[in-house]
A and B are shown apart, each in its own frame.
Chain A
Amino acid sequence: MKFTLSWLKDHLETDASLDDIAKRLTMLGLEVESVSDRAAGLESFVVGEVTKAEKHPDADKLQVCTVNTGTATMQVVCGAPNARTGMKGVFAAVGAYVPGIDVTLKKAKIRGVESSGMLLSEREIGLSDEHDGIIDLPESAEVGASAVEALGLNDVVIEIAITPNRGDCLGVRGIARDLAASGMGHMKVMSTDPVPGAFKSPISVTTADESVCPQFVGRMVRGITNQQSPKWMRERLLAIGLRPISALVDITNYVTFDLGRPLHVFDADKVKGNINVRLATNGEKFLALDGNEYELDDEICVIADDNGPEALGGVMGGEASGCSEGTTSVFIESAIFDPIRTAATGRKLNIISDARFRFERSVDQAFAAPGIEIATRLVLEICGGEPSEITTAGAEPKWQRDIKFRPDRVKQLVGVKVGRDEMVRILSVLGFGVSGDGDEWTVSIPSWRADIVAEPCIVEEIIRVYGYDRIPAVSLPRDGALPKPALTQEQALRSSIRRTLAARGMVEAVTYSFMPSTDADLFGVVVDAVRLVNPISSDLDVMRPSILPNLLAAIGRNDARGFADGKLFEVGPQFSGDGSDDQELAASGVRSGAAAPRNWQEAARKVDAFDAKADAMAVIAAFGIDVKKAQITDAAPSWYHPGRSGAIQLGPQNVLAHFGEIHPGVLKKMNIKGPVAGFEVHLGALPKPKAKKSQQRPMLRLSALQPVERDFAFVVDGATPAADVQRAAASADKKLIVEARVFDLFEGKSVGEGKKSLAVEITLQPVQKTLTDEEIDAVGKKVVAAVAKATGGVLRS
């Protein structure tokens, strides 16, 4: 919402400085977005008259102008095509700074002719981008007078942001009222006395019902001349960014911004029959003032005559009955439209207008009738003519209501004590009625404040005007001297998962929760429920079923920039449906290219499934789970390499994680070089950490006896999982064997076709006494027997 300082002062009697007004507006909740003093820097420019313009002797496109500046006569060389004898323009003397071209003028010779000063274009004074010619001031401009004055720029423009609840401040008078309440001056009286009608309006109005248009006030003015509106009005409209059109249209715009009262004017001669405010019929067509034709439906309010819809109620007028320079009879509309219906119409037809903006935020419910009197006065003043009597349909809506207000609530809710007299003063200036005393008052709400619906609204009004800066800052008292943990154990473990992966050399990424469906489709079945109805782009059209595609795409982008070998992870949500149980938290990561950069000691190694497996196991361990208790299987989803991937499970049903090399076919479709190894840990599947009764660790029993290691090599079938051999060996003697570890794998002719040799190191921990050779041999035999039984493996000879 824009307005000018002088405009504000039409309504507010004040001595306050611009700076104080701007600061107070912001502190009232009317946030100042800009204050532009358009005259700043232009003070030295004056109105100059070109008394003679002659062609430059040595240049086709230049003219030599003699300029009367009121105090002197100057010779100026000018390149503007519109410079001509008798015109009045904006003159800048030698020594003046011209902001639009960032130049301080000096006396100069242009193609041998002396030039002292300059006639300026709009761009040169920083008013607009217009540079086709110099400013052509009206004949009436006084030679030697300040150019700022002549251009109507001596009025500061203030722009404020209006929150959706403050429809009453979409007119300058409402803003003045807030300022007055906060002690920045006094409201000026505004006349809304009825203008007597000279005849009965030949156009009468009917309305369908209250939900469409509760009140419609109309009046005809005949015998008018619709010329240009006066300079003061044009200047104000221009200052707030509105293009002056004609007196009638300008008046409606002016009253809209001055009083927050939208109006519409019909060319009365183009209205056929009487006016009926009704709902449109489905498929009815309407040509609006913006030049577009709209197809209407039966929820849209139209103002219609015998020709059909002439305006969209509260939104926009129509082309057919619009006013033009030839209009001699005008029918003025001042009506009240339903906010919800107006908003819905605007949304449906995608029309944004100053009227819609006000009606959907609710206008002053008691101002339709006074509004038309003010409009009539302006029409009579500017266009002349003879007014009819008022014609009205419907009635002023019943807006009167009271709210019980306990003055103590201010202190309770806001923490600051405001004096009762001050509360009454603030409410009264804002237009509220206050009655009763003691601990419960009755506050009546003014017709322009539909946003005030409950007691806290009144508290807000008081404290907003009293000043938020007068509320003290009081630290929140805590329950107990020391804080309790802010995170649940699970939340804290999640944080340590991130830090575990980062400590393992991986870089954390945060990627969008949505992704292209073309990528998502490579990662399982994407249900329709997670396809966005209104995606920001087709590249981000489904909720991600997995984090991996986003990380893979990032690997591809980094590679394209010359940074291969990315190691990225993300801990975040993924979606299998739109229910709250369908959102799963996953810790996923990818490693691409070389496991580590090549170096002079070791050859570079490509990443493989075991890198991803180690990451996944580290995540699971970081969640406090003993990974040794988990089983590794070779079952993994389709986006992994079918022979180089697996799952980490607790029991046959509970899959904690998948890991492996990403399927080369998937990489190819996503245009990624690879190899890439990835993992996905399903954090929801991890057993929840149990609340411990005690933090005590089990008793530590240290053996004084040295552990003993023995190595075995087994030849097994090539398809036998190493884990089976390891598990069989480890469980051969549960008392003595504390660890069994596969430390070598050999495949070759010497062990037989389709066979492999796995070497296992067994660690024995004697408990009571040092083991004898016979005892160790006995355990060895058990190991061999156990492995043979479990896998058919035989000791390698």
Chain B
Amino acid sequence: MGNSDKLKSDLLAMVEATTTLAAVEEVRVSALGKKGALTDAMKGLGKLAPDERKAAGQELNAVKDAVTQAIDVKKTSLSMAEMSARLMEEKIDVTLPTRPEEKGCIHPISQTIDEVVAIFGEMGFSVAEGPEIEDDCYNFTALNIHEDHPARQEHDTFYLPGQGEKGRKVLRTHTSPVQVHTMMSEKPPLRVIAPGRTYRCDYDATHSPMFHQVEGLVIDKSANMAHLKGVLTDFCRAYFGVDDLPLQFRPSYFPFTEPSAEVDIGCTREGGEFKIGHGDDWLEILGCGMVNEKVLENCGIDPSEYQGFAFGVGIERIAMLKYGIPDLRTFYESDLRWLRHYGFSALNVPSMTGGLSR
């Protein structure tokens, strides 16, 4: 065995023996550094005869390659081991809770209005709005409810002290005045819905002094009661998500429509469980009718040319039915537990294409 072989085996053994990266570095310096053993040996080559020098040089280069490679391998394996050890030390308890994030939500009334708008929007309706403090005329007289009309007593109106240009100030008892304003300011054809707050001086288990309605109005030259039936059937089926939901139209009376109807949807209470759909029972959900000619005249629309229909639905009522909310009064109590339980995710935006409710 020549000197170079011995040097090689010695150096490789030293590399092999190291256990830390620092020790490997020491070995590298002692072998390959400026004063390293191999460097020394390389320096000694000059003293040799030229023919010997070549062979010895090749041998030493081979030793250098072998040692360099061994050091690299050792370094890689040690640094991996070191990282593993460090990572183990960094271990955390992943069962600890995350940083708190608060989840907000949308009130069922807003969500239901968004659903209603999504459905009627698909049928070509747009949304109209109006003031909640109204002059008597827009809330009553223009709608064919004169001062002495028996229907007026049923409205339980809230009054304000002021007097407007068109009569005493009242809190609107329905969103119908929005229809009046629309008819007065826009030319037919009209196709609008008016969702919003309404007020009646009544408070018990099934009445709240403030509640929400959505009313609809269609005026053109041919809209008739069959269309009214179609619109409401399409709406109820889409809203309740029951494709074959039966509807029953019954004659009724409202001063602002003629003929008038109340609408029931099919339901069942079998086994004490209430379900909307086919069944042996009916549940009243809305009122509607063909707009009374007098109302058209009051709003500056010629009834010999135009006709149409109107309808009104209670937002809370249909929300209660769809989402199984038992008590009307709880809508306005702002109980955080209730709001979180019945509320909707901010990103749950109803649409006919993406789904009304998730």
- The yes or no verdict on A and B being binding partners is yes
A interface, CB within 8 angstroms of B: 26-29, 31, 163-166, 339-340, 343-344, 347, 360-361, 412-416, 454-457, 459-460, 463-464, 468-469, 471-476, 478-480, 483-488, 491, 495, 498-514, 528-537, 540, 543, 550-551, 554, 557-558, 561, 563, 566-568, 571-573, 575, 578-580, 582-583, 596-597, 599-602
Query: In the assembled complex, how far is the CB of residue B341 from the closest CB belonging to chain A, in whole angstroms?
Result: 11
Query: In the assembled complex, how far is the CB of residue A615 from the closest CB belonging to chain B, in whole angstroms?
Result: 11
- Please tell me if B103 contacts chain A, counting CB pairs below 8 Å: yes
Tell me, in angstroms, the Cα distance from A591 to B130 when the chains sit together: 31
Which residues of chain B are near A514, meaning CB under 8 Å? 209-210
Can you list the 5 inter-chain pairs with the closest CB atoms, starting with the nearest? A415-B226, A486-B121, A29-B251, A505-B102, A163-B253
Q: Are B339 and A499 in contact (CB under 8 A)?
A: no
Tell me, in angstroms, the Cα distance from A28 to B97 when the chains sit together: 64
Query: Please, could you name 16 A-B residue pairs with CB atoms under 8 Å apart, sorted by A?
Result: A27-B251, A416-B225, A454-B293, A468-B251, A476-B123, A499-B346, A502-B345, A514-B209, A529-B162, A532-B158, A532-B159, A537-B203, A563-B337, A566-B336, A573-B132, A578-B169
Tell me, in angstroms, the Cα distance from A495 to B117 when the chains sit together: 11
| Complex: chain B residue closest to A165, CB-CB | B253
| Complex: chain A residue closest to B98, CB-CB | A599
Q: Are A413 and B307 in contact (CB under 8 A)?
A: yes
Query: In the assembled complex, how far is the CB of residue A591 from the closest CB belonging to chain B, in whole angstroms?
Result: 9
Q: Are B110 and A575 in contact (CB under 8 A)?
A: no
- Binary flags per residue of B328-358, CB closer than 8 Å to A gives 1, else 0: 0001111111011001011101000000000
Tell me, in angstroms, the Cα distance from A681 to B343 when the chains sit together: 23
Which residues of chain B are near A499, meaning CB under 8 Å? 106, 346-347, 349
Q: Are A502 and B104 in contact (CB under 8 A)?
A: yes
Q: Are B131 and A476 in contact (CB under 8 A)?
A: no
- Please tell me if B260 contacts chain A, counting CB pairs below 8 Å: yes
- Binary flags per residue of B176-212, CB closer than 8 Å to A gives 1, else 0: 0000000000000100010001010111000001100
Which residues of chain B are near A468, meaning CB under 8 Å? 249-251, 261
Q: Are A596 and B106 in contact (CB under 8 A)?
A: no
Tell me, in angstroms, the Cα distance from A700 to B79 when the chains sit together: 46
| Complex: chain B residue closest to A486, CB-CB | B121
Q: Are B224 and A163 in contact (CB under 8 A)?
A: no
Tell me, in angstroms, the Cα distance from A601 to B199 when the chains sit together: 49
Contact for B334 among A339, A558, A601, CB less than 8 A: A558
- Please tell me if B109 contacts chain A, counting CB pairs below 8 Å: yes
Contact for A413 among B125, B210, B224, CB less than 8 A: B224
Which residues of chain A are near B233, meaning CB under 8 Å? 473
Tell me, in angstroms, the Cα distance from A498 to B258 when the chains sit together: 39
Contact for B106 among A502, A511, A529, CB less than 8 A: A502
| Complex: chain B residue closest to A27, CB-CB | B250
Which residues of chain A are near B225, meaning CB under 8 Å? 413-416, 463, 471
Query: In the assembled complex, how far is the CB of residue B80 from the closest CB belonging to chain A, in whole angstroms?
Result: 31
Which residues of chain A are near B337, meaning CB under 8 Å? 563
Q: Are B248 and A558 in contact (CB under 8 A)?
A: no
Which residues of chain A are near B62, meaning CB under 8 Å? none
- Binary flags per residue of B219-240, CB closer than 8 Å to A gives 1, else 0: 0001111110111011000000
Contact for B148 among A344, A413, A557, A600, CB less than 8 A: A344
With contacts A486-B117, A529-B162, A534-B201 taken as known, whether A507 is within 8 angstroms of B105 at the C-beta atoms is yes
- Please tell me if B153 contacts chain A, counting CB pairs below 8 Å: yes
Q: Are B124 and A479 in contact (CB under 8 A)?
A: yes
With contacts A164-B253, A601-B99 taken as known, whether A529 is within 8 angstroms of B169 at the C-beta atoms is yes
Tell me, in angstroms, the Cα distance from A573 to B117 when the chains sit together: 20
Which residues of chain B are near A415, meaning CB under 8 Å? 224-227
- Binary flags per residue of B135-178, CB closer than 8 Å to A gives 1, else 0: 00000000000001111011000111110100001010000000
Contact for B230 among A469, A476, A502, A557, CB less than 8 A: A476
Tell me, in angstroms, the Cα distance from A580 to B131 when the chains sit together: 6
Which residues of chain B are near A531, meaning CB under 8 Å? 160-161
Q: Are B133 and A474 in contact (CB under 8 A)?
A: no
Contact for A513 among B189, B199, B290, B307, CB less than 8 A: B199
Q: Are A511 and B334 in contact (CB under 8 A)?
A: yes
With contacts A561-B335, A596-B102 taken as known, whether A578 is within 8 angstroms of B162 at the C-beta atoms is yes
- Please tell me if B213 contacts chain A, counting CB pairs below 8 Å: no
Q: Are B160 and A503 in contact (CB under 8 A)?
A: no
Tell me, in angstroms, the Cα distance from A537 to B158 when the chains sit together: 12
With contacts A460-B260, A503-B347, A508-B343 taken as known, whether A484 is within 8 angstroms of B124 at the C-beta atoms is yes
